Structure 1
């Protein structure tokens, strides 16, 4: 679809006024815009044509126009001037997500909460994907004579732990054998390679130590399986109620956000560095009045996760897109540094 320069100026003005005020935009208001130096009648005709093209709509007969989802899409793709973050904005984001001596999950939670506060939207994020992730380290922390905590660290920084109970004493000799097995059979192994057949082969090779080792080995396997799951983090859901745009549908959206699984699919399906879904472009009906801005972060050049926001279609795209992008890039850098330190 191609628009004349005048139509583009009018469409951009309608979108920007509506984003700012939430009120339908009429020809008299646009006539005051120095960028649009034509009569009110000409503006009305152009707005009518933009409406027939599906880019504007008139909510009430006597009201002005508001953008449709297609109108927002044209604006974002062709007309929007993305605001460049200044040094103060960047420092504020960096300070907001910085946290000392934290696990990747805590870093992501901090970033998620800060993003929700900064944008006044609901914020969503996922940890780095479990694809090609290996076991980096396994530790055993004694708790009692026959009880201990098994802690697993993966190459993408996820830490999982679980209490393990045994029918025999977990003495120094048993723990030494366990560490030897971990070193030779688990460290450096991809998570999805630790399947039932692999464990059966491993146990069969242990001989008389098998019964002693099974609880410990099974715990490592369970933690590896848990680490493959990509956790979803959600924050700022109550921000949805700040927008009158949603009306009664706010409760439907809140219920959708609580369910988690559809959101996780949205983020894990995202393969773009930056993606903006507007209104009806979203797959799920509860998001038909929302826009979703998602960006992908990179950890160590291999593993990826996504961070995004959900707000009404009337969000300030020009400001929020660069903010989400910069925060996401910083999260990737921080996570990469944490993993290199480990």
Structure 2
């Protein structure tokens, strides 16, 4: 789509004014904003041309225009000038993590909440487990006469634990056997490959003891699945209720935001470090009036994560993207340090 420089300036101004005000933009407003040395009639003609190209829309009977979702896409891809994050803003983000729990799950949850407060949008925070992650060690320790604690450590530094009640008396001899058995069958195996079928298959090799030890093996399987699925937290859904464009779809939008499979499907379908889906580019109908901005980040050598913002299409992309990139890099660094401390 070829547009001359004046039309590009007009489109940029309309997007930025609408982001600031949320009100349709008139030719008079553009004439005051831009120094184009042309008549208001020329500006109106250029706005009509942008409208005909599908880059602008006219809401109801208003004399003004608003950007279409295609108009936003051209703005984000070609016209937007990111607003550099200031040192003060960096310090504000750093301060969000100054008091933090060493538990990675808690850190991710706190990050989602902090970003929701910072952006006044909804946020999601997740880790993504590569298929190369293996079971490093399993420890089964006594917690009572008929209770054990199962600790699973993965090669990416993630540690999971679970309390498991059993139908036998916990003795040192039984614990030694269970530790040798589970480590012998699972250590060095990819958490992605440890399926329910595989657990059932190794349970069969226990013979008459299969049913007795099934609760322990089931708990080990659940821990492997948790490591493989990564962590996922959503926060700030109530922020969306403050935007008038979400009035009719707020309930559906909140349900989608907390649907882990749908959100991970959206994130996993993209390979870029930063990606944005705008309005109707979202395949889910309840997201067609939203924009989703996601940044991916590294957590050490074997992990990656993603943190994203869900908000109105008229969000301030130029400001949000640099902030989100810095936020995600900081979170990735802290998570890497936390995983290293736990090993």
Q: What is the TM-score when the length of structure 1 is the normalising length?
A: 0.91
Mapped partners of 1:241, 1:125: distance in 2: 20
Q: Does 1:131 align with 2:92?
A: no
Q: Please name the residue that 2:263 is paired with.
A: 263
Q: Does 1:179 align with 2:148?
A: no
CA RMSD of aligned residues (A): 2.4
Q: Does 1:316 align with 2:339?
A: no
Where 1:276 maps in the other structure, the secondary structure is: strand
| Residues 182-208 of structure 1, C-alpha deviations (whole Å, 9 max, x = no match) | 443333321133346654665566688
Q: Please name the residue that 1:326 is paired with.
A: 326
1:36 Cα shift?
Answer: 2.8
Q: What is the TM-score when the length of structure 2 is the normalising length?
A: 0.90
Q: How does 1:94-243 map to 2 (within 5 A)?
A: 94-129=94-129, 131-195=131-195, 198-199=198-199, 202=202, 214-243=214-243
Q: Does 1:63 align with 2:89?
A: no
| Residues 127-146 of structure 1, C-alpha deviations (whole Å, 9 max, x = no match) | 22252222233333422112
Tell me whether 233-242 or 199-208 shows the greater mean CA deviation.
Answer: 199-208
Segments of 5+ residues of structure 2 without an aligned counterpart are none
Where 1:191 maps in the other structure, the secondary structure is: coil
Mapped partners of 2:266, 2:91: distance in 1: 30
Mapped partners of 1:99, 1:291: distance in 2: 31
Mapped partners of 1:251, 1:202: distance in 2: 45
Conservation of the 8 A alpha-carbon contact between 1:291 and 1:310: yes
Segments of 5+ residues of structure 1 without an aligned counterpart are none
Q: Please name the residue that 2:10 is paired with.
A: 10
Q: Please name the residue that 1:25 is paired with.
A: 25
Q: Please name the residue that 1:250 is paired with.
A: 250
| Residues 219-272 of structure 1, C-alpha deviations (whole Å, 9 max, x = no match) | 323321333234431100010012123232333323433444322321232322
Conservation of the 8 A alpha-carbon contact between 1:294 and 1:309: yes
Conservation of the 8 A alpha-carbon contact between 2:128 and 2:229: no
Q: How many residues align?
A: 342
